[in-house]
Structure 1
Amino acid sequence: MLICHCNIITEKEIEQAIIALLDEDPWQLIVPAKVYHSMRKRGRCCGCFPNVVETIIRVTENYHARSEAGGVDVVSHLDRVRELRVQYGSKTHEGRKTGHRAA
């Protein structure tokens, strides 16, 4: 599935970049800008960033579920990240008006 139309980046490419970052340091904070930087890309319109955040959360959960780390610590941390995203991220809709359509 195509995630970023500006850079033509697929979900699989983003997942691979996230896994490569987690292989370097499993407990680092991964944000969309870090993922794009690792792929030598940059966010242009940044409309894809909410989908990238969801992919980061999903891939990180799966990565740590397969690792030897304690599952309780991982789940509690990711739940806190989700709460912050709901609290701060989903209210503004990236500053776009309700009737905004890209196409």
Structure 2
Amino acid sequence: MLICHCNIITEKEIEKAIIDLLDSDPWQLIVPAKVYHYMKKRGRCCGCFPNVVETIIRVTEDYHVRSEAGGVDIVSHLARVRELRVQYGSRTHERRPTNHRAA
């Protein structure tokens, strides 16, 4: 699935970048800018960043579940990040008007 139309980046490329970053340091904070910097790209319109955040959360959770770390060590704040995203992110729609069309 194509995530970033400006840079032509697929979901699989983003997932691979996130896993590579987690392999270097499993407990680092990964944000969209870090993923794009790792891929030697830059956010242009940044409309894809909410989807990248969801991908980061999903891949990070899966990574830590599969790792040797026990269930106690798995980052619990990811659920809070998802709650905040629902609480604040869905209401503003990235500050775009409701009649905005992406394509």
Fold equivalence (TM over 0.5): yes
Deviations 1:2-46 (A, max 9, x none): 100000000000000000000011011101111000001011111
Residue 101 (str. 1) matches residue 101 (str. 2): yes
- Could you say which residue in structure 2 is the equivalent of 1:65? 65
Task: Please give the per-residue CA displacement for 1:62-89, whole angstroms capped at 9, x wherever unaligned.
Answer: 1001101122442522112212222332
Q: Which amino acid aligns with 1:85?
A: R
Give me the whole-angstrom Cα distance separating, in 1, the residues matched to 2:3 and 2:102.
14
Residue 13 of structure 2 corresponds to: 13
- Measured in 1, the distance between the counterparts of 2:3 and 2:34 equals 16
Deviates more, 1:77-86 or 1:1-10: 77-86
Matched to 2:14, the amino acid is I
| Aligned residue pairs, count | 103
Unaligned runs of 5+ in 2: none
Sequence identity percentage? 87
Aligned-pair RMSD on alpha carbons?
A: 1.3
Question: What is the CA–CA distance in structure 1 between the aligned matches of 2:89 and 2:71, rounded to whole Å?
Answer: 26
Structure 1 unmatched ranges of 5 or more: none
Give the corresponding residue for 1:3: 3
User: After the TM superposition, which segments of 4 or more aligned residues of structure 1 sit over 6 Å from their partners?
Assistant: none
Q: CA separation in 2, counterparts of 1:89 and 1:72?
A: 29
TM-score, normalized by length of structure 2? 0.92
